[in-house]
């Protein structure tokens, strides 16, 4: 039996009341590519927006195998035991072939997923980084309006998605492994400029000494970098997600960061800049979407592709021709 379609008012009321079923349906609505759903989603977000923003947003990244899921599960359990309401979102750069979802299988965080104080939700990519960012941000805002005061955003690895996540969180945490090669190879300037903390995971058993050595090496390397504009030096810590050691210290560090950034005004300034950037990114996403949905453009692209693939025509020249054509049709 098909579910009854909710009205804008029902979505808003359900989310503000903390109803998880309505929250999930609202996130599904904002992820929809249907024209009518997009219009309704905009109305829902406009009504919800004044009730959001009262959480701390934390990005968690690291290469596959670093233990992100175990870290988020046990770190999340710590937070909910401390009285926080936790939402976990995932940027999912879905495969263009399989459209797979990185957190579709919640058995990776079975304990946290079954905890009523936490909410876990993947956000599919939809093929464009701007689309990913917009939908993940909107999901985050919905979760905040539903009463979740800590939002963890998990990324799939180190790459383009990290840039997107950094632009939507207050604190960016990079998980690392010791003993996985030359430790200092992990010190990439771009990542260091983005992250607020390096955490060496799996510091247990025979790996404890290696983790401590890695911490010293990373700490020494970080001294080569200047302090960030907000006055914060990225900290290096060790933990064992499996043994649940070092997690409380990580949260205390995040609280210290939160307090310092709130006092020096950077916290709110950062949020303001993010809101402006979100608008510009979404403009680019909407323009790209409208371009590729234009029937004339789709027909022209299909006609041009054989010559472009064979190298008989310039990709750059044809791109400009398509954009000029699109602009002309929009002005008519």
Give tens-digit pLDDT for 106-123. 556 888 988 889 999 976
Mean pLDDT computed over 68-93: 91
Confidence at residue 180, expressed as pLDDT on a 0 to 100 scale: 53
pTM for the whole thing? 0.87
Percent of the chain with pLDDT over 70: 84
Give 2 or 311, the one with higher predicted confidence. 311
Please spell the DSSP secondary structure of 193-243, one letter per residue: HH-SEEEEE---GGGHHHHHHHHHHHHHHHTTSPPPTTSPPPEEEE-BTTT
- Class of the CATH domain delimited by 1-50: mainly alpha
Confidence at residue 124, expressed as pLDDT on a 0 to 100 scale: 61
Question: Residues 241-287: pLDDT tens digits?
Answer: 999 999 999 999 999 999 999 999 999 999 999 999 988 988 988 89
Question: Residues 32-48: pLDDT tens digits?
Answer: 888 889 899 999 999 99
* Residues 6+ positions from 92 with CB-CB distance below 8 Å: 100, 101, 102, 103, 122, 123, 124, 125, 132, 156
Starting at the edge strand that comes first in sequence, how are the strands of the sheet with 86-92 ordered?
A: 118-124, 86-92, 150-154, 56-61, 171-177, 197-201, 235-238
281 C-beta neighbours (distance < 10 Å), count: 19
Q: What is the CATH number of domain 52-264?
A: 3.40.50.300
Beta-ladder partners of 240:
245
Helix%, strand%, coil% for the chain, nearest 5: 55, 15, 30
Confidence at residue 157, expressed as pLDDT on a 0 to 100 scale: 61
Residue 143 has pLDDT above 70, yes or no: yes
Give 12 or 188, the one with higher predicted confidence. 12
Confidence band (pLDDT; 50, 70, 90) for 332? confident
* Residues 6+ positions from 43 with CB-CB distance below 8 Å: 8
CB neighbour burial string for 91-109, b if at least 16 within 10 angstroms, e if fewer: bbbbeeeeeeebbeeeebb
Please spell the DSSP secondary structure of 39-72, one letter per residue: HHHHHHHHHHGGG---SEEEEEE--TTS-HHHHH
Residue 61 has pLDDT above 70, yes or no: yes
Ranges of each domain in the chain? 1-50, 52-264, 294-331
């Amino acid at each position: 039996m098909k579910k009854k379609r909710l009205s804008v008012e029902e979505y808003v009321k359900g989310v503000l009341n903390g109803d998880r079923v309505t929250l999930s349906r609202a996130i599904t609505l904002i992820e929809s590519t249907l024209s009518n759903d997009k219009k309704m989603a905009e109305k829902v977000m406009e009504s919800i927006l004044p009730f959001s923003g009262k959480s701390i947003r934390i990005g968690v990244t690291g290469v596959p195998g670093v233990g992100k899921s175990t870290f988020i599960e046990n770190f999340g359990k710590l937070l909910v035991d401390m009285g926080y309401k936790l939402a976990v979102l995932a940027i999912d750069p879905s495969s263009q072939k399989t459209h797979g979802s990185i957190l579709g299988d919640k058995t990776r965080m079975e304990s946290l997923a079954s905890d009523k104080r936490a909410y876990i939700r993947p956000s599919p990519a939809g093929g464009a980084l701007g689309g990913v960012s917009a939908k993940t941000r909107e999901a985050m805002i919905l979760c905040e309006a539903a009463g979740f005061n800590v939002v963890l955003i998990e990324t799939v690895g180190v790459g383009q998605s990290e840039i997107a996540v950094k632009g939507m969180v207050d604190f960016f945490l990079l998980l690392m492994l010791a003993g996985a090669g030359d430790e200092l190879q992990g010190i990439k300037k771009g990542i260091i400029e983005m992250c607020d903390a390096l955490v060496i995971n799996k510091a247990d058993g025979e790996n404890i000494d290696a983790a401590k050595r890695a911490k010293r090496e990373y700490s020494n390397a970080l001294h080569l970098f200047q302090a960030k504009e907000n006055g914060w030096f990225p900290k290096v810590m060790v933990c064992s997600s499996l043994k649940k050691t070092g997690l409380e210290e990580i949260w205390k560090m995040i609280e210290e960061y939160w307090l310092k950034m709130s006092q020096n005004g950077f916290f709110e300034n950062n949020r303001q800049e993010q809101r402006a950037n979100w608008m510009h990114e979404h403009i680019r996403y909407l323009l790209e979407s409208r371009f590729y949905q234009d029937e004339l453009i789709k027909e022209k692209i299909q006609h041009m592709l054989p010559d472009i693939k064979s190298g008989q025509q310039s990709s750059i020249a044809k791109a400009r021709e398509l954009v000029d054509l699109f602009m002309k049709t929009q002005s008519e």
